[in-house]
Amino acid sequence: MQWRSVVLGLLLLRLGLQALLALLPALAPGLCLRRRFPFPFPPPPAALGPPEPGSSHWGSLLRRGGLGETTGGDEYERRYSGAFPPQLRARLRDAARGMFVFGYDSYMQHAFPRDELDPLHCRGRGPDRHDPSNLNINDVLGNYSLTLIDALDTLAVMGNSSEFQKAVKLVIDTVSFDKDSTVQVFEATIRVLGSLLSAHIIITDSKQPFGDMTIKDYDNELLHLAHDLAVRLLPAFENTKTGIPYPRVNLKKGVPPDSHNETCTAGAGSLLVEFGILSRLLGDSTFEWVARRAVKALWSLRSNDTGLLGNVVNIQTGHWVGKQSGLGAGLDSFYEYLLKSYILFGEQEDLEMFNDAYRNIQSHLRRGREACNEGEGDPPLYVNVNMFTGQLMNTWIDSLQAFFPGLQVLIGDVEDAICLHAFYYAIWKRYGALPERYNWQLQAPDVPFYPLRPELVESTYLLYQATKNPFYLHVGMDILQSLEKYTKAKCGYATLHHVVEKTKEDRMESFFLSETCKYLYLLFDEENPLHQSGNKYMFTTEGHVVSVDERFRSSLWQDILPAYEESPDKVKPTEIKALNFSSNCNKVPDERRYLLPLKSNYMRQIDQMVGLI
């Protein structure tokens, strides 16, 4: 496959293919994406140059920070190599904090107690009661002050104890889940349940690493709220022949009578971290058991030939409705939670499944040269394939896939993470944002909106923590600058309706505060307790902080599920690594710390691949 060859016939058939994609989507409507596609795909834009220079504010910031161009070397080395001035880093940390504060304060002033902020009209947004089929809104908004809940641990990570304590008290006093709201089980779990558990853990931590985040007379109210919500989600796991849950549940009435029998793999298989934490805090195995049963059910349905899973499955028959296998929407967090469940709970089978999944991803989804930083050929790229044959299904990737370099960091496959991250960064440089879908064959967005997603920032942060290479601070600075320039609105930050035209939509999703701002802040905050305390922390798929400690290592469910038998040829629990790659953390030597993580000729190749140069 040649990335740079744009087939003339494909260009001539583009409009026809777009119409076909619109009629035959790869994913069941509204099940697997955090955002549906409300408009037709645009014609391919003209090739764009690099983003426009920053505003005078940013130019002033760079000058005050002491960042100047280095001399010698090629353009990439001049721009990215060398040390990153600590003064500039501190200013960028403060800018990231200011971004969060502006978004959070705007929500509290104009939108609370509603779920989300409309940043263009400075008002709140809740469920769409007039149109129950508006899943783009109703899957996420449950009439329970979503943005406030989702932002709790970001307040703590930024050390704002007074606002954290005030926000927690507001949640305790005002939030109820006794609502006639039909929500997506996945979204309610990762955004709401996960944040309540994270804040509870922070409040009850005897070490208090973020400052005094304790609440006077706290009586586990957040844990009780989390328990109440989880109980209301449990009906999704009932009356399903496979054990795979229904995608939606009404918080008062249970599963709606007209509920779909189809769900996406990520939505059904990414509940184990939050449900497992809740079970282990309560000493009640019920929640972990249903989540673990769903993971095992999905795992049992993988292809016998490729070992891959599809993206949409029928929960009653186990039949794959969507046969696309990739790393983006519909599958992304399923892989993420196989590894993170092992990290948190230490269960051997979770690591077994992850290593098998990673091996099959490398065998069937990865294209390009074998090594990231040496050799000839196209850069590594992970594509969408048919789960049964491994054959290419389309030529687009989506922005959610940008999380994968961060996951590779966690298992030590840093070299491969460097290449994939560079590809997504190149797209960001071209548009000042990541389009929801990008067609690498046509070098153009297929779906051009950007809802302030955090995945590229997350991978940037984790790669910096793994390599300490200042390159990733430059990447974070570019992202921060683009967000300020293109998405800042009257009352917060707005979704980009079109990454080329830079038109805005009146929505600020809660994950902007819980993830995007948090990862940007942590990237520039070297002294943050997360990096200094000696404690071990993990981020959920919604960016919520949870401590990795022994209280989550006691299994509660072996008496219900069959015991796991370890075979002598299986990987040991201490061996957290992928089994089929040649590079690892130790192969990024110290002398490369202030050099480009990717050789400039390969970086230029990727920039050409996305039409940046």
Residues placed in the known binding site for Ca(2+):
541
Residue 504 — φ and ψ, nearest 5°?
-110, 155
User: Does the annotation count 205 as an active-site position?
Assistant: no
> Within the chain, what is the greatest distance between any pair of CA atoms?
69
From the centroid of its chain, how far is CA 399? 9
| DSSP state for residue 587 in the 8-state scheme | G
User: Does the annotation count 347 as an active-site position?
Assistant: no
- Please give the Cα distance from 356 to 400 (Å, whole number): 22
DSSP state string for 49-100: -SPPPPPHHHHHHHHHHT--PPPSS-HHHHHH-S---HHHHHHHHHHHHHHH
Residue 411: other Cβ atoms inside 10 A? 21
**Residue 539 structure tokens:** 């981020």
DSSP state string for 192-255: IIHHHHHHHHHHH-TT-TTS----TT--SHHHHHHHHHHHHHGGGGSS-SSSPPPSEEETTTBS
Catalytic residue among 455, 506, 515, 607: 455
- Please give the Cα distance from 97 to 95 (Å, whole number): 5
State the binding site.
Answer: 541
Q: Which residue has the tokens 């989506």?
A: 398
User: Does the annotation count 378 as an active-site position?
Assistant: no
User: Does the annotation count 376 as an active-site position?
Assistant: no
- Cβ–Cβ < 8 Å for 423, 355: no
| DSSP state for residue 509 in the 8-state scheme | -
**Residue 40 structure tokens:** 């037709």
- Please give the Cα distance from 247 to 183 (Å, whole number): 9
263 has which bridge partners? Answer: 313
Catalytic residue among 116, 150, 274, 332: 332
| DSSP state for residue 450 in the 8-state scheme | B
- Please give the Cα distance from 611 to 613 (Å, whole number): 5
Find all residues with CB under 8 Å of 256, minimum gap 6, and list them: 182, 248, 249, 250
**Residue 497 structure tokens:** 């309706």
The alpha-carbon radius of gyration of the chain (Å, integer) is: 23
**Residue 71 structure tokens:** 């001399």
From the centroid of its chain, how far is CA 117? 21
Catalytic residue among 116, 187, 478, 505: 187
Catalytic residue among 153, 221, 336, 436: 436
From the centroid of its chain, how far is CA 149? 18
- Cβ–Cβ < 8 Å for 293, 349: no
- Please give the Cα distance from 368 to 154 (Å, whole number): 38
What are the residue ranges of helices labelled H in 83-193?
86-110, 135-138, 146-150, 152-157, 161-174, 185-187
Q: What share of the chain is helix, strand, coil (3-state, %, to 5)?
A: 45, 10, 45
**Residue 594 structure tokens:** 């202030």
**Could you list the active site residues?**
187, 332, 436, 455
